[in-house]
Chain A
Amino acid sequence: MRKSLFLLVGVCVLAYVAGCNSKTSKTLPILGSRDPITKVVDGKTITDTLYHSIPDFQLLNQDSVLITNELFSKGVYIANFFFTHCPSICPTMQRNLLKVYEKYKGDERVKFLSHSIDFRHDSPSVLKSYAEKLGVTNDQWQFVTGSKAAVYGLSDSYMVYTKEDSNIPGGYDHSGYLLLIDSNRHIRGAYDGTNDEQIQLLLDELAILLKEYE
């Protein structure tokens, strides 16, 4: 009798521990389109998946320095699209991104990239002054400008809607998404930058993504 009781308790403890261990750690999906590609490796034809990724870019930052994907290749980064005199969603979006920046300030694994969609007004010096007033004090957060074709083309790759529209206050229409990009240029998350719950989700998922690099 006593033996079977011990057995029962033993089984329960085992089940509990096993249940605990079987909890797999969450990994983030790769967002965007995916295409099958066939290639020949060691004489064998294999099929692989080509995931959507951010293309090569070359943009001018707030210090008038040309920056490329290379700057972001050693860790993860969060990208968005804005303009400095945006009267609508940008201040809220940047206020929220600033919270993430302040949390990871000094942590070189995380960078920030804000693209201006106002290619007429937002020169590097305007971006520099904006960054300082926002409270950005190091180069972890880059503010960039480029030709309309370059920036608007990139926004498509980030799956962010951008459009010049004189009927919109400020003259430009765009969505306020924050995109989480990994070191392989894959989009791992998209979050509404104006929504507090989405910002919390971004913070949670950023921590999950960083675990991939530990």
Chain B
Amino acid sequence: MTRNTSLYTGVALLVIYLLFHACQSEQAIRTAQYTVNGQKLFTAHCQNCHGAKGEGLGTLYPPLTDSTFLLKHREQLPCIVKNGGSEMPPNPQLTPIEVAYVLTYIGNSFGNEMGIFTLEEVQQALAVCD
């Protein structure tokens, strides 16, 4: 009897553990998908100026390795990608999901650890651009 109880407890714990892990890895898989899609967009739209390693070029084009700056301006980043910055050209052809892809790539490369930029987050940010 006690043997059965401990067996059931063990199975229950295992199920909880697996569910938790599946949830975790689902998020991880999603982030990985966004990153892969974002890398292609980065190569096409960003890499010429910002460099393959996000290193920038002199003071002509800023690097994308400044994690502090990126974290501080997280909410403005979708607008900068879409509408351009002080000297950066806009990318009006990028859809919100593509902005999410490319920001997830930048935000999790070059030493940055910003996690995923979801479609919802990007849509909310784009709705309130200056």
Contact = CB atoms under 8 A, between A and B. Distances in A.
B51 A95 contact: yes
Nearest to A87: B89
Contacts of B47: 92
A134 B89 CA distance: 18
A90 B47 CA distance: 11
A95 to B, nearest CB: 5
B89 A95 contact: no
A135 B61 CA distance: 12
Contact of A133 (B49, B59, B89): B59
Interface in A74-108: 87-92, 94-95, 98
A133 B89 CA distance: 18
Contacts of B51: 95
B61 A91 contact: yes
A87 B49 CA distance: 8
Contact of B60 (A89, A91, A92): A91
A88 B57 contact: no
Contact of B58 (A87, A89, A90, A133): A133
Interface string A44-74: 0000000000000000000000000000000
Interface residues of B, number: 10
B27 interface: no
A133 B49 CA distance: 13
Contacts of B58: 98, 133-135
Interface string A153-176: 000000000000000000000000
A130 interface: yes
A91 B57 contact: yes
Contact of B57 (A87, A89, A134): A134
Contacts of A92: 47-48
A33 B109 CA distance: 48
A130 B49 CA distance: 14
Interface string B38-68: 0000000001110100000111110000000
Interface of B: 47-49, 51, 57-61, 89
Interface of A: 87-92, 94-95, 98, 130, 133-135
22 contacts: A87-B48, A87-B49, A87-B89, A88-B48, A89-B48, A90-B48, A91-B48, A91-B49, A91-B57, A91-B61, A92-B47, A94-B57, A95-B51, A98-B58, A130-B60, A133-B58, A133-B60, A134-B57, A134-B58, A134-B60, A135-B58, A135-B59
